[in-house]
């Protein structure tokens, strides 16, 4: 490699890592810097470049500091939630692998092939999509926070130098977040369980919806199976359904990170439940969400002609059944909102008032 080429390579390696708009200038500056150093220090190009150090490190100093995808404030929570998510995916991969193995196998070898095939497929696909989504959620939180951080600070001026440093910063002890009332604390265990449960549910709905169904065995062999969901329309149902669960999961993550009932959690809960009711309404009214034939298929599996009217399957497929499901979802949602409203207003209201003073 000639000396000129070595210089070119070095400059290229630095310049490609700095923002587009200052590349040309930095290239010119580096070129004359290296020339000067060689001339005046009587050094070889190799020695000079050695002294300037690794291009990546050099370039890093040119970039603005403090630009994180996920900064130190959220990093621990992020890592923690990713671990929980991976755990959840592991469970769902296992469940769908077992179900897939049982429903598709004839002998042991076939079972193992189906089992491991499904296991790794779900594990890999699930991990990528869930970690990707979590990263996006946290990156957005980081960006929003960066904006919030910048907002209250006023522009620094020379005059501030002679003043007490503390006055430059607009933080005051009144901004301290309250120590939450014990009764307003949201159990981490509950949130974690909900997140894992939601992930397992989402992964299964996407990769193995047939898990939710009835299976008919005779002498250890699967004779027939039927799914409670309307798999004919599944491609159109699943995005909405998963979106609804996903909104729920974001809500649980907010709860986990914040850790107690406060206005943020309250708004998040209200929005989440409203979205979920709306989606449930659409799913139950505009699609046959459930498999209309499920009850009949179960009947033929069980070799009976009718269900008693105490049995939920007696009402399967009727408008009454869908309305009952919707009512059930609305009640659960209202209860969730009610609890959050009560705990926020009852235990956290006085805290907000101190801040206002």
Partner 1 sequence: MEKDLLESLLSELRRGTLILCVLSQLDQSRYGYALVQSMEEKGVSIDPNTLYPLLRRLEKQGLLSSEWDTSEAKPRKYYKRTEYGEQIYEKLVEQWKLMSVGINELLGGSKDE
CB of 209 vs partner 1, minimal distance in Å: 55
Using CB under 8 A as the binding criterion, the count of chain residues that bind partner 1 stands at 23
CB of 235 vs partner 1, minimal distance in Å: 52
Restricting to residues 33-72, name those near partner 1 by CB under 8 A. 33, 35-37, 40, 51-53, 57-58, 61-62
Q: Is 30 in the site for partner 1 (CB under 8 A)?
A: yes
Is residue 178 a contact partner of residue 348, using CB atoms and an 8 Å limit? yes
What is 28-72 written as a DSSP string?
Answer: HHHHHHHHHHHHHHT--HHHHHHHH--HHHHHHHHSPTT--SS-H
Nearer to partner 1, 162 or 305 (CB): 162
By DSSP bridging, strand 213-218 and strand 221-227 are antiparallel
Nearer to partner 1, 5 or 36 (CB): 36
Instruction: Give the bridge partners for 226, in sequence order.
Output: 214
Nearer to partner 1, 159 or 182 (CB): 159
Q: Is 166 in the site for partner 1 (CB under 8 A)?
A: no
CB of 100 vs partner 1, minimal distance in Å: 54
Alpha carbon separation from 293 to 8, 72, 118, 224, 298 (Å, rounded): 72, 53, 27, 14, 9
- Classified as helix, coil or strand, 18 is coil
Q: Which of 1, 109, 148, 161 binds partner 1 (CB under 8 A)?
A: 161
CB of 274 vs partner 1, minimal distance in Å: 45
CB of 188 vs partner 1, minimal distance in Å: 37
CB of 68 vs partner 1, minimal distance in Å: 19
Restricting to residues 79-118, name those near partner 1 by CB under 8 A. none
CB of 22 vs partner 1, minimal distance in Å: 7
Nearer to partner 1, 36 or 352 (CB): 36
What is 239-290 written as a DSSP string?
Answer: HHHHHHHHHHHHHHHHHHHH-B--HHHHHHHHHHHHHHHHHHHHHHHHS--B
Nearer to partner 1, 37 or 228 (CB): 37
Q: Which residue has the tokens 């399957």?
A: 313
Nearer to partner 1, 26 or 184 (CB): 26
Q: Which of 1, 158, 175, 179 binds partner 1 (CB under 8 A)?
A: 158
Alpha carbon separation from 287 to 112, 172, 240, 283 (Å, rounded): 37, 55, 11, 6
Question: To which H or E segment does residue 225 belong?
Answer: strand 221-227
The span of 31-39, 102-110, 197-205, 332-340 binding partner 1 (CB under 8 A) equals: 31-39
Burial class (CB in 10 A: 0-12, 13-18, 19+), 104: middle
CB of 36 vs partner 1, minimal distance in Å: 4
220: left (phi over 0), alpha (psi -120 to 50) or beta: left
Token pair of 213 as six digits: 């169904």
* Rounded distance between C-alpha atoms, residue 55 and residue 132, angstroms: 30
CB of 33 vs partner 1, minimal distance in Å: 6
Q: Which of 29, 46, 190, 232 binds partner 1 (CB under 8 A)?
A: 29
CA angle 97, 325, 88 (to 5 degrees): 30
Q: Is 32 in the site for partner 1 (CB under 8 A)?
A: yes
Q: Angle, nearest 10°, between helix axes 234-258 and 188-207? A: 160
Binding site for partner 1 (CB under 8 A): 22, 25-26, 28-33, 35-37, 40, 51-53, 57-58, 61-62, 158, 161-162
């Amino acid at each position: 490699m000639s000396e000129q080429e070595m210089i070119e390579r070095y400059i290229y390696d630095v310049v490609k890592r700095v923002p587009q708009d200052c590349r040309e200038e930095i290239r010119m500056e580096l070129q004359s810097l290296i020339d000067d150093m060689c001339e005046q220090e009587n050094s070889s190009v190799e020695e000079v470049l050695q002294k300037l150090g690794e291009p990546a490190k050099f370039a890093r100093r040119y970039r603005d500091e403090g630009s994180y995808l996920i900064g130190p404030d959220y990093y621990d929570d992020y890592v923690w939630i990713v671990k929980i998510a991976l755990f959840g995916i592991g469970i769902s991969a296992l469940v769908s692998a077992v179900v897939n193995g049982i429903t598709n196998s004839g002998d042991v070898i076939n079972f193992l092939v189906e089992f491991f095939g499904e296991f790794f497929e779900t594990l890999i696909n699930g991990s990528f999509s869930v970690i990707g989504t979590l990263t996006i959620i946290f990156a957005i939180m980081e960006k929003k926070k960066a904006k919030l951080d910048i907002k209250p600070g006023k522009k620094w001026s020379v005059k501030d130098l002679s003043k007490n440093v503390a006055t430059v910063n607009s933080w005051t002890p009144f901004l301290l977040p309250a120590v939450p009332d014990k009764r307003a604390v949201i159990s981490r265990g509950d949130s974690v369980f909900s997140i894992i449960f939601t992930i397992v549910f989402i992964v299964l709905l996407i990769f193995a919806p047939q898990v939710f169904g009835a299976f008919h065995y005779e002498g250890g062999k699967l004779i027939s199976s039927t799914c409670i969901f309307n798999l004919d329309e599944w491609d159109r149902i699943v995005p909405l359904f998963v979106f609804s669960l996903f909104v729920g999961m974001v809500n649980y993550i907010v709860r986990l990170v914040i850790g107690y009932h406060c206005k943020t959690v309250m708004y998040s809960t209200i929005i989440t439940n409203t979205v979920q009711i709306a989606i449930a309404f659409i799913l139950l009214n505009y699609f046959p969400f459930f498999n209309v034939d499920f009850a009949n298929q179960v009947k033929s599996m069980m070799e009976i002609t009718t269900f008693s009217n105490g049995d939920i399957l007696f009402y399967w497929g009727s408008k009454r059944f869908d309305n009952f499901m919707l009512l059930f979802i609305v009640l659960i949602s209202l209860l969730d909102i009610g609890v959050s409203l009560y705990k926020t207003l009852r235990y956290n209201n006085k805290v907000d008032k101190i801040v206002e003073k």
